[in-house]
Amino acid sequence: MHTTLAQSKEPIDMTDAEADAAQDTPPFMHGMPSSVEFNKLRKRLLRQTRQAIEDFAMVKPGERWLVALSGGKDSYGLLAVLMDLQWRGLLPVELLACNLDQGQPNFPKHILPEYLDSIGVAHRIEYQDTYSVVTEKLPESSTYCSLCSRLRRGHLYRIAREEGCSSLVLGHHREDILETFFMNLFHGGRLAAMPPKLLNDEGDVMVLRPLSYCAEADLAKFAEAMKFPIIPCDLCGSQDGLQRNAMKAMLTDIESRMPGRKDTMIRALTNARPSHLLDRNLFDFAGLTRAD
């Protein structure tokens, strides 16, 4: 286990305009691109993340968050945006980055600790060989992602408890939420997505997804511009299931033919109308009577 301590800063009251006008940048972002396009991208990610944090009441000042870091573009982007907000005084919590090394073949163990040390981020690297567990239980032709994810989540909950963290923070973005919604719609027969805020079954760790409004394409551009040391997620030879890939392709096609539909879909998930659905548990259709 490798843990370092990060310095905390007192929260300050800062408007969006003041934050945007700040001349300096966090130390970990020194050397970032100075183009207008990148600045707009960075501000958009900051604004959308801050909006999700406020909309879903994610923050209690003084708490400690465990930020799950896989080495992919989304989790790198999550950590960077949270650190940026924290540096600006807009996120009054302590951040602890955590990578769970699950024993995948050829996993480059040095990349994440070296990177986190270089930017001065408090972190914990934990080794748990869940890869062997998954490969023992599933045939080679199976997709490992679902079981692998469940095992990983259990260890992250444990680490959050051990580190005194109130929340586990994940890098799921807008497309992850929409893909999950359509998977549930087409294959599960229910209206459900990936919640931005969820209490675990034990009731002691909150799961947060601050990137819920952020586009995957923006996170990809941000990762490329920041030159994050990306670790591929296909080290074990497994890929996401065909159902999720089909949803991703469908959403990409819809967006290409009707730009802006993904944002409209996300807004729809915030604007449910039980009286216009068919769920009798959410709306009392039997008790609906006309006025005489």
Asked if residue 267 belongs to a domain, the reply is: yes
pTM of the model: 0.84
* 119-137 tens-digit pLDDT: 999 999 988 776 666 666 5
Residues 73/228, Cβ–Cβ less than 8 Å: yes
Which pLDDT score is estimated for 128? 74
User: Which helix (H) or strand (E) segment is 272 a member of?
Assistant: none
> Looking up tokens 């023992």, which residue turns up?
136
Which pLDDT score is estimated for 275? 95
Asked if residue 205 belongs to a domain, the reply is: yes
Asked if residue 286 belongs to a domain, the reply is: no
**% of the chain with per-residue pLDDT over 70:** 82
Asked if residue 289 belongs to a domain, the reply is: no
Q: Please give the tally of structural domains in the chain.
A: 1
User: Which helix (H) or strand (E) segment is 124 a member of?
Assistant: strand 123-127
Asked if residue 11 belongs to a domain, the reply is: no
CATH number of the domain where residue 264 is located: 3.40.50.620
Mean pLDDT of 98-126: 87
The CB-side HSE value for 24 (13 A sphere, CA atoms) comes to 5
Asked if residue 54 belongs to a domain, the reply is: yes
Asked if residue 190 belongs to a domain, the reply is: yes
* 6-18 tens-digit pLDDT: 333 333 344 444 3
Q: Is the pLDDT of residue 165 over 60?
A: yes
Which region among 101-110, 161-170, 194-203 has the lowest average model confidence (pLDDT)?
Answer: 101-110
User: By residue range, what is the domain housing residue 175?
Assistant: 16-276
* 259-287 tens-digit pLDDT: 999 999 999 999 999 999 999 999 999 99
Closest CA to 71 of 18, 125, 21, 32: 125
Asked if residue 285 belongs to a domain, the reply is: no
Q: What is the mean pLDDT of the chain?
A: 85
